[in-house]
Structure 1
């Protein structure tokens, strides 16, 4: 209950003014406490803030006016009287959109007032997900944001596409990552380990549970202020900060397991042997130890489920987190530390470990003119994934009666495999790899209000990444007959960058007109180096990696680059009567990656919005419409994501003669890629915003494509950097819907839905037929396509697959590949629900994708397992699959049919991506335990996948393993 105590204070005129020590609780309409509510005494600098229990205390005099304000709720103004009660209830703001603050990069806006397209997820949606990189937590949650897993190994870089593929270069499609105001290099880190295919994700060092929000900037109005860096979208990551109201310690711990949820339906030993024997019958070939070692040398009764052997293990996951926050009215801080570990499903002792630490400090002067914000994130990753082992689909298709991989003593079995003239499939098993990555990201923000409406800001950022990897290859990993020696491979990567961004922010309000302006500059420098070398000839396994003990160091190479970037930018935001909005953005960029004549260019955008629901005519005609906004934007961004120094000639020293030879051809004339973005959207709210609907249409055109243009061999160079006259278009629709299905005192239920319908197209490429890309792209079709033969069925005479020789020249090449397969997703999205009942909460997200994919497991007859679908051919001639055979002709026919529409299948899926169940203990019980809060939680990841796809993971059709099924459970307490 609210209460007060009366005391007296003496004023300067020696009159006594009675004060009250007011205490109470601030709650919402359902009686739930609201932490972080600001309580201010008007015309005074005094104030307070509610704690986690919604409690507060403040000293005020009779007659003082108290203001209670909280984001999303209507501010309550009360006058202190003799019988004033401290318990306050706040009403949810009918226009809560105006209170939801969104990070737009250099400035903040609100959901109501934004003119650009910005998607957002918050901590409560992602903090419990047992993932290494925050990108993995975004799958299915945002329209226009497509995230694909890099694989099942912890730490592999995921692929993120924001509204499609803009550039012909793979490295030209990375978005801009900004963490607490500091940009970091988004390029995956090179590796020799099992992560080599996708690389190491540069965001691994972040603790997902330490993230406050992630905003994705998509259209020109949102991204143009970043100029060339925002061509492929911007990913803004903001970490949590402390407040005096939430002072205390928070501890969280969870642990769990992950497994592969899908299996291929492969032949068992009996079925496999029947297929193999039929192949010899059909081919009329005699069995020998060379062509039939699986039938003559290997045990006919042995059975190994190679899927279970290769990836049938259990990956264990553990996470521990400790936070401490506190401070005063002027200064608040948050100190956080965490530990995360995850194993693999493969045989062998492979693990990923991550230790993270962060510190946030926020301070403002008493008059609130000066502000200081310091953010520091540090992470140490240790990844022990081996290299040189084939944990892939090729080993899954080993004959089911193949001999054991290991001997009884634990060493690799070379004898039984060698008798068949083969190497052990897990050659390299005893290799050990350790990748140590240290990442520091720090930012200091300073601001000072020169006078009312004008503020001077400066952002100072620094990042450092150091990755050192050593791969040890001992003799016992390889066939003794190969006469190898102990070896090691090394990769050392270093990335350093600093950035300084001075800014002036100006705001003015004259009657119904409000003006917000920004003028700023960016000065940035990135330096990076990459070293590769190998050590050979170590005397013993114990010495591997000690370069001083190596007989020689070979294949040494190194790269050192410096990238400098400078820009000036400005933004003017206008709004009239909070109904009509205009946003003008301009930026002039300079990049050291271009020659002196093309180093600078200009980018800009205009965005507009009209909140038509505030018009009297609309209010009277459509009373059920609580919010309505039309918005549009158009602008240009650029792209300089190419190698450094490409406009200069490059030389390398000759080893023997001591001279120089050219390795790179200069082209000082190439210039920026240009991305022109157009967007229109509408946002609607119904029944006091209980139903929300957003529809967006976008069209992005990227031209003047920067590529490494291939050159004829006779020139002495493989390629030269150049601009191609190609234009790529991405267009599509995005639909988002949110509903408050039930909002009672004890039970609440909210549903969110998003769907994206993208279309990618190569609009133009003059003379593509004479270019090196004639067999890669087709004008009028997407970039991600496969050029296929026309499948013409099974030859009744040979029983083998046939394809069309369209030009009749007797050969099968790209001239005959006239069928075009679109490998992009037709649409994708997510459906999420959040339900709370008293202390229980349930969240779940279904991810859905419409697409096609390829299968490759229908080859029958060779020494290779296959899907059971081919048994239809064993049982009779009425089968879509070719004759069982191991001849060259059969193999040729199979390889050709792989490049037709025959193996294309519907790879669409509907997946229960996340499911979280939590229970928050009652307050009276928690208080008795001396705690502020305590909750238990269970979390599931990739629990159910509904699909007709015959492969392993429909998210990565034809590429093998991706997401694992994970179940974790844990506890969180607040002290």
Structure 2
């Protein structure tokens, strides 16, 4: 009797443990209030009958296999999804169906057990997507939101998180204008809305903290696009990046979301888990991904000598030193010499995470170093640290989250006056060597040359650009009542960049060196901002639906400082940079600006019967960038969705549709992306005492840009969502354009800030396809395809003829056009290019530019394939772009500068008579440069690029466990491996320009979990 009582006591303790600690699916089906009563009557050997219904999100599931674990006894559900089995109380039931996650549940004495199966593919539909101020399930969202996760981000050997988006998102265009680490990529979300380039930046938000997305001036011409404000972020610390595109998703951000929103969410720790340590290291090499096909020495000399012959002149020592003084048999590939080096890449990341029932943490840091492909030992490196703390009170009412990310990066890109890249593309192949045998710079043979020795830039033009970036955010929420929660978000960002460059006069040839000075340049940029956003959140059941609502306010302030100072006349190289030792010091720029932004916002969403959804958002914004009477504006949106696959008529008549949803939205967002204080009269002090002069005209009447967004979308799933397809059509119309209105020079000012009555329209189609091609126990093959077909045009611009924009834009045409001369071929009499002088006035200007050609992308997208076999996984992404561009401008053929091999082939072997006579004459130069601005050099610049290729392998778990490891993954990652294109360009992403392309990299690494 005693033993029996002890046995029952042990059973009861075990059952209490199960009740409190077993995950909800194991006991979710017990009747409320009867958990312990049922357990207390258990007899673990007693057989009984159990029955139930198996369903998924669309209703009953016939044909589900129900098996008693460890036996061959089982059954299948009938046409109504019902089953019945004789079981013991100790048994476990295994529910399995192709395409769905297997469920394993204990019997525990139950006589009824209903189970909901979860599709392996549609588990993505259950993912909580970050929509900014709230989260929403993927299948229930009414707005357009694209998402990439850490699996697609963390292993890529890149610096900016934006680069991870290339080719992965429909409607999101990311372009690397320059392959220098830290250079800001160009990002456009559904096209260009503003006439101003700086009016098209999206809003960046990191863990709730808004970040100024405008790139920071990089100091030299390798950073013409600026330095990316996200460059100091640790990619391994990013959990996901969401991009909000349509009005429904962005209107809650009001004016800040006019050009889309990029949400970056960092990783958190795990509750109820012991502390884990994750370490990841990779190292590899990088080289320029593409080089231009240029002339050999023989080809170069053939063109030069033919030009002399055609011009009927003799060799001249002053102008023809490449033919008289330079070795006629020397050949140097200057691309290989000046940017053909190998970049050494190394990255190390470590993070510790864990927690208990109420608190979780994640603490991590990283180091990234990346060499440059130029001569010398210049490099880019950064160090980051990140902390995330999450706490929930025992009564689940108080929730606190704190995140802090700190990064330091330094770029040692040489302070070039002239880029190595452009020099490598123009320097003749027989130019003399750049260094003597003893390593000193070679100057002698350059006596008659107008070129500087490119190596002088490495030795005598030094620079350093250091950035420090702190992003911190504290989120607090407290559940006041069952349906009402108060929440506040408080963030702070401090970003500083210090650029210092020194220029020694030794960079010049000895003949002109004495007339030069040692000089320096410094730039100090500082951005500080804070935000406070109190909110009330409401959620309650209403009939067969759920009402979600929030109401809140935003208080934000940005302080920007920018100082540029130059020093001239340092006595020696050792003193360069010490402004106290300079003969003269000039302050080029000294700006101190403050921007204040306040808003109130609200959102109300209603979900009826898990099939019908409506979402209303509104915001009233106030900005200090407008005059007192124009500071406030209202923005709003409405979005709706209908999951029609839940309707009976679809289930009965279209059983092959496993998921179907219509959604659409319309709303108005705005923009205040202009400079501060533009509505005021502005003055600056003169050099003399008590003097000032005006620098800006007042205009207190300009106001917000407006962007009206419309979208409609159809989402479909087939064959239990093994195939999913989404297609969206959108139309954005941006009006009331904020621009600098040009003024005649007689006013003393070049422009005044104003609104122009122009409307820019962006329309387009976006397609996203995902397929599960093969799915077996050990092998899977998945494919993801996205395609964007954008169209942009200037819809209207009243009286455009009265403005200077008449020479840039055409109504009904895209913004990214070039107005070109009409090409008429090669003149048979002169042998020179001929373009049409439309008004026959004997000169060529904008009146003759009657040909409109669209530059940029006609469509773009990406194709991803993922293969997994047991512990091995292979992924690759092809990015494809259809685009047009002008050929890169070269020097006049026949002049002492390099040409492309394509030109030589057209000139020497071409049969179309489309190349003019090579000559250095004035007439030849005039004809050539007129043709450069004609349709003659307009061409297709499309490409297909293998953007990423990765191979990873998880080592077997058992041997790892024996040595104390929880996991070990080996991986190989290739980036920009090769590109298919007919366009002869160095940087296919920025065609027509002499910029360094993205590097082709290969890295090998290991990831360890302790």
Q: How does the TM-score come out when normalised to structure 2? A: 0.89
Q: What is the aligned partner in structure 2 of residue 418 from structure 1?
A: 447
| 1:716-747 CA distance string (max 9 Å, x none) | 11110000010000000000000111121100
Matches within 5 A, 1:963-974: 963-974=998-1009
Q: CA deviation at 1:878?
A: 5.8
Counterpart Cα distance in 1 of 2:377 and 2:216 = 23
Structure 1 residue 453: deviation in Å? 1.0
Which of residues 651, 655, 666 is equivalent to 2:687? 655
Counterpart for residue 31 of structure 1 = none
- 1:228-247 matches, within 5 Å, as 228-244=255-271, 245=273, 247=275
Q: Among residues 218, 238, 248, which one is paired with 1:191 in the alignment?
A: 218
Matches within 5 A, 1:246-395: 247-388=275-416, 389-395=418-424
What CA distance in whole angstroms lies between the structure 2 residues aligned with 1:325 and 1:40? 29
Which one of the candidate residues 801, 805, 815 is aligned to 1:773?
805
Residue of structure 2 equivalent to 1:32: none
Indicate the SS of the match to 1:195.
Answer: helix
The match for 2:896 is: 863
Q: CA deviation at 1:76?
A: 7.0
Partner in structure 2 of residue 830 of structure 1: 862
Unmatched tracts of structure 1, length 5 or more:
1-5, 27-34, 47-61, 83-87
Q: Which moved more, 1:947-956 or 1:113-122?
A: 947-956
- 1:397 is aligned, of 426, 449, 454, to 426
Contact between 1:684 and 1:694, CA under 8 Å: does it hold in 2? yes
Deviation of residue 803 (structure 1)? Answer: 0.2
Query: How many angstroms does 1:266 deviate by?
Result: 1.4
Q: In the TM superposition, what whole-angstrom CA distance separates every residue of 1:898-948 from its partner, at most 9, and x where no partner exists? A: 111211221111111000100100011111221000011000001121111
Distance verdict in 2 for CA 1:709–1:74, change over 3 Å: farther
Partner of 2:832: 800
- SS of corresponding position for 1:209: helix
SS in 1 for 2:248: helix
**Distance of 1:371 and 1:378 partners within structure 2:** 24
Contact 2:670–2:705 (CA under 8 A) maintained in structure 1: yes
Q: Which moved more, 1:813-822 or 1:951-960?
A: 951-960
Q: CA deviation at 1:476?
A: 2.0
SS in 2 for 1:392: helix
Q: Secondary structure at the match of 2:645?
A: helix
The alpha-carbon distance between structure 1 residues 297 and 16, as it changes in their structure 2 partners (threshold 3 A), is closer
Deviation at residue 98 of structure 1 after TM alignment: 4.3
1:647 and 1:499 map into 2 onto residues whose CA distance is: 24
1:576 aligned residue: 608
Counterpart in the other structure of 2:497: 467
Match of 1:598 among 630, 636, 639: 630
Determine the structure 2 residue equivalent to 1:55. none
Q: Give 1:267 deviation, angstroms.
A: 1.4
Could you say what secondary structure the match of 2:903 adopts? helix
Kindly indicate whether the alpha-carbon contact (under 8 Å) linking 1:310 and 1:347 is maintained by their aligned counterparts in 2.
yes
SS at match of 2:805: coil
The answer to whether 1:210 aligns with 2:237 is yes
- What SS is found at the alignment partner of 1:881? coil
Q: In structure 1, what is the equivalent of residue 462 of structure 2?
A: 432
Say if 1:730 and 1:972 are closer, same or farther in 2 by CA, change over 3 A.
same
Q: Partner of 1:407 in structure 2?
A: 436
Equivalent in the alignment of 1:935: 969
RMSD over aligned CA atoms reads: 2.6
CA contact (8 A) 1:535 1:552 kept: yes
Write out per-residue CA displacement over residues 71-128 of structure 1, whole angstroms, 9 at most, x where no aligned residue.
x96987656569xxxxx99864675344211000000001110000000011111211
Cα deviation, residue 472, structure 1: 1.2
Task: Tell me, yes or no, if the aligned pair for 1:594 and 1:668 is still in contact at 8 Å.
Answer: yes
**2:798 is paired with a residue of what secondary structure?**
coil
1:770/1:281 CA distance change after superposition, 3 Å: same
Q: Deviations over 1:753-799 (max 9, x none)?
A: 00000000000011111111111111010111100001000011111
Q: Is the alpha carbon distance of 1:36 and 1:725 closer, same or farther for their aligned partners in structure 2, counting shifts above 3 Å? A: farther
Match of 2:62 in 1: none
Partner of 2:79: none
Quote the residue 1:911 is aligned against: 945
Distance of 2:837 and 2:581 partners within structure 1: 59
2:274 and 2:885 map into 1 onto residues whose CA distance is 49
Match of 1:503 among 516, 519, 535: 535
CA 1:797–1:443 in structure 2 vs 1: closer, same or farther (change >3 Å)?
A: same
- When residues 826 and 36 of structure 1 are mapped into structure 2, their CA distance, relative to the original with a 3 A threshold, is farther
Counterpart of 1:29?
none
Q: Hey, what's the Cα distance between the residues in 2 that align with 1:17 and 1:738? A: 49
Cα 1:763–1:92 shift into 2, 3 Å: closer
Match for residue 485 of structure 2?
Answer: 455
User: Are the counterparts in 2 of residues 157 and 199 from structure 1 also a CA contact under 8 Å?
Assistant: yes
- 1:97–1:89 CA distance, 2 compared to 1 (3 A): closer
Aligned counterpart, 1:636: 668
Structure 2 distance, partners of 1:421, 1:506, is 72
* Contact 2:826 2:913 (C-alpha < 8 Å) held by counterparts: no
Per the TM alignment, residue 689 of structure 1 is displaced from its structure 2 partner at its CA by: 0.7
Distance 1:880 1:418 in 2: 37
1:133 aligns with 2:128: no
| Count of paired positions | 932
- Distance change in 2, residues 1:939/1:94 (3 Å): closer
Q: 2:119·2:720 contact (CA, 8 Å) conserved in 1?
A: no
Q: Deviation of residue 307 (structure 1)?
A: 1.2
- The within-5 A match list for 1:741-756 is 741-756=773-788
Deviation at 1:425, TM superposition (A): 4.2
Q: Deviations for 1:109-149, whole angstroms, at most 9, x for unmatched residues?
A: 01110000000011111211000000011100000000000
Cα distance in 2 between the residues matched to 1:94 and 1:433: 51
Residue 263 of structure 1: how far off its partner (Å): 2.3
Aligned to 1:680, the other structure's residue is in SS state: strand
Deviation at 1:367, TM superposition (A): 1.2
Query: Residue in 1 aligned with 2:198?
Result: 171
Change (3 A) 1:96 1:421: closer
- Using the TM superposition, give the Cα deviation of residue 502 of structure 1 relative to its aligned residue in structure 2, in angstroms: 0.4
The aligned counterpart of 2:508 is 478
Cα separation, 2, equivalents of 1:406 and 1:36: 72
The DSSP-based 3-state class of the residue aligned with 2:936 is coil
Aligned to 1:849: 881
Name the SS for the 1:873 alignment partner: helix
Q: Which of 899-908 and 416-425 deviates more?
A: 416-425
The SS at the match of 1:661 is strand
Task: Answer yes or no: is 1:926 the counterpart of 2:921.
Answer: no
Cα pair distance change 1:7/1:775, threshold 3 Å: farther
Distance in 1 separating the partners of 2:497 and 2:547: 46
**Alignment deviations for residues 233-265 of structure 1 (CA, whole Å, 9 cap, x no partner):** 000000111104373111000011111132222
Secondary structure of the structure 2 residue equivalent to 1:375: strand
Equivalence map 1:508-657=2 (5 Å): 508-657=540-689
1:784 equivalent in alignment to 2:813: no
What SS does the aligned partner of 2:374 have?
coil
Task: Specify which structure has the higher proportion of helix.
Answer: 2
Distance 1:421 1:822, change over 3 A: closer
Structure-2 residue corresponding to 1:3: none
Distance 1:770 1:762, change over 3 A: same
- Kindly provide the CA deviation profile for residues 838-884 of structure 1, in whole angstroms up to 9, marking residues without a partner as x: 11001110000001122235842111111223334346886321101
Corresponding residue SS for 1:623: coil
Q: Do the aligned residues in 1 keep the contact of 2:570 with 2:583 (CA within 8 Å)?
A: yes
Contact preservation (8 Å) 2:563, 2:587: no
User: Are residues 256 and 40 of structure 1, via their aligned partners in 2, closer, same or farther at CA, if it must alter by over 3 Å?
Assistant: farther
